[in-house]
Structure 1
Amino acid sequence: MSKDNHELKGRVALVTGASRNIGRAIALALAEAGASIAIVARSDQAAAESVAREVEAHGSRAIVLLGDVAQEADAARLVGQAVDALGGLDLLVNNAAIRREAPVEKLSFADWREVMGVTLDGAFLMSRAAIPHLIAGERGAIVNIGGLTAYTGAMNRAHVISAKAGLDGFTKALAHELGPRGVTVNLVSPGMIDTNRAHTSSGGEPAHHNTTRTLVGRRGTPEEVAAAVLYLAGPAGRFITGQTMHVNGGAFLP
């Protein structure tokens, strides 16, 4: 992406799960395009502040907000603080997620609810809080971040797959509701992306990666996912809504 690209100048974006990996890459891509960024993380303030410094190095404003998107009060607070600090909200990226692995018979209901809470409930709560501001800005967009296995299935990921598949339906429902009010809603579905896996995941290489192959012969990068988000958020994406953009190197062909 060119450093001379300022297609999002004057716009404000809130990115959840923005302290690392795909979320970080999205925040930086939007900042490079001129947007001010609210960086939302659950607890890792140091990592979030590091991303904020990178955003500012692109000449964009950044704030760090800590909170649990799965909690109703936190979601409302996070959106309100972003609007107050940055002067509005034009783009919401629901990227926060938990990716763990366990067979269904060993999966506790608490683990199921935690994954569903962050990934799906969080997207709902953040979107609901953001909608009035997105409508007011007259160029609003929501981009949800899904996942390849929501379409292919995988072993030991029933909770993760169910949550990500729910995002697909949620995206289509919101697109119907918000399209007439000038807000686009889309989903970007990454495939096998080179990322650093956190303690919230299975802690190692997902088993399904061993049976998944891309047509291009490599894994993707967080920056390639971010490029798709930028396209959907920018002026070129204003006639696109209710869609899923697959960024998977041909690992899945819908």
Structure 2
Amino acid sequence: MSGDLKGRVGLVTGASRNIGRAIAVSLAERGADVVVHVARDLSAGAETVAAVNALGARAVLVSGDLGDPATARRVVDEAIAAFAQLDIVINNAAIRPEAPFREITYEAWRDVMATCLDSVFLVSQAALGALKASDQAAIVNIGGMTAHTGALHRAHVVAAKAGVVGLSKAMAHDLAADGITVNCVVPGLIDTERHAAAGGAEPKHRGSRTNLLGRRGSPSEVAEAVAYLVGSGARYVTGETLHVNGGAYLS
């Protein structure tokens, strides 16, 4: 890998496993130091830190509920304090519970909105001061394919991820004058480990989904797209939504 991100610092939220961990590793492979955020799973977060360290990059672990404004600010402050700078923010934190529309409680609705959408707003806003000081500042928000297709039993998740796409475009407008690029990467049909916090069992809608390539993607393939968008070669790219789904929309 190139040293394209040497001397840069990236914060990756929701980096305990799967796509978040792959992104943290990808940044480290390119020379960046990484702030690894987890909500609660400190053990899994420590594994991500170890994976980053194994590549010769520095890493620190931060934790907390990013849907809470005070906690989001604290996490960002800790990230900046760790390395005295912040150049890259990857908003990946998410939960994906499933329930029929009629059974979704308002509490469940708010939990999803707070984790998937509010956190993007709160973390990005808290990081603005540090990002403005960087000459290669980039924010990448991780969306979801169901925001574009809909999905059974995921009204709250679909709504939140659709909001991430719209927020990314709005942020691109507002932050362009500060030299901060903002883009959205949308994974689809990715082979990930399903754990309880993310919704547990295999999503119901996946059984009927196919793509042109006839396989599921890997977290590392999503991470490659993210790495491009935060690298020096993508400084003229902002406000875009990049789909990584093996041609699912064409199948």
Pair in the same fold by TM > 0.5: yes
Query: Structure 2: which amino acid aligns with 1:198?
Result: H
Give percent identity, aligned residues only.
52
CA contact (8 A) 2:14 2:92 kept: yes
Mapped to 2, the partners of 1:22 and 1:201 lie a distance apart of 12
Mapped to 2, the partners of 1:201 and 1:243 lie a distance apart of 26
Mapped to 2, the partners of 1:29 and 1:170 lie a distance apart of 25
Alignment of 1:86 with 2:100, yes or no, is no
Q: Name the SS for the 1:252 alignment partner.
A: helix
Tell me the alpha carbon deviations over residues 133-155 of structure 1, each in whole angstroms, 9 at most, x when there is no partner: 10111211000000100001111
CA contact (8 A) 1:67 1:78 kept: yes
CA contact (8 A) 1:21 1:222 kept: yes
Mapped to 2, the partners of 1:206 and 1:140 lie a distance apart of 35
Structure 2, unaligned stretches of length 5 or more? none
Alignment of 1:219 with 2:188, yes or no, is no
Alignment of 1:37 with 2:15, yes or no, is no
Mapped to 1, the partners of 2:198 and 2:224 lie a distance apart of 24
Tell me the alpha carbon deviations over residues 69-93 of structure 1, each in whole angstroms, 9 at most, x when there is no partner: 1011111111111111112000000
Structure 1, unaligned stretches of length 5 or more? none
CA contact (8 A) 2:143 2:184 kept: yes
2:131 maps to 134
Question: Paired residues, what number?
Answer: 250
- Calculate the aligned-residue CA RMSD, in Å: 0.8
Alignment of 1:157 with 2:154, yes or no, is yes
Alignment of 1:105 with 2:102, yes or no, is yes
1:240 maps to 237
Alignment of 1:199 with 2:199, yes or no, is no
Query: Structure 2: which amino acid aligns with 1:74?
Result: T
The range that moved more, 78-87 or 90-99, is 78-87
| Structural mapping, 1:177-188, within 5 Å | 177-188=174-185
Query: Structure 2: which amino acid aligns with 1:45?
Result: L
Aligned with residue 117 of structure 2, among 105, 115, 120 = 120
Normalised by the length of structure 2, the TM-score is 0.98
CA contact (8 A) 1:70 1:125 kept: yes
Normalised by the length of structure 1, the TM-score is 0.97
Task: Label 1:202 to 1:68 Cα distance change in 2 as closer, same or farther (>3 A).
Answer: closer
1:95 maps to 92
Mapped to 2, the partners of 1:203 and 1:68 lie a distance apart of 19
Runs of 4+ in 1 over 3 A off after TM superposition: none
Mapped to 2, the partners of 1:70 and 1:138 lie a distance apart of 28
Mapped to 2, the partners of 1:209 and 1:192 lie a distance apart of 7
Tell me the alpha carbon deviations over residues 12-60 of structure 1, each in whole angstroms, 9 at most, x when there is no partner: 0000000110000000000010000000001111110111011011110
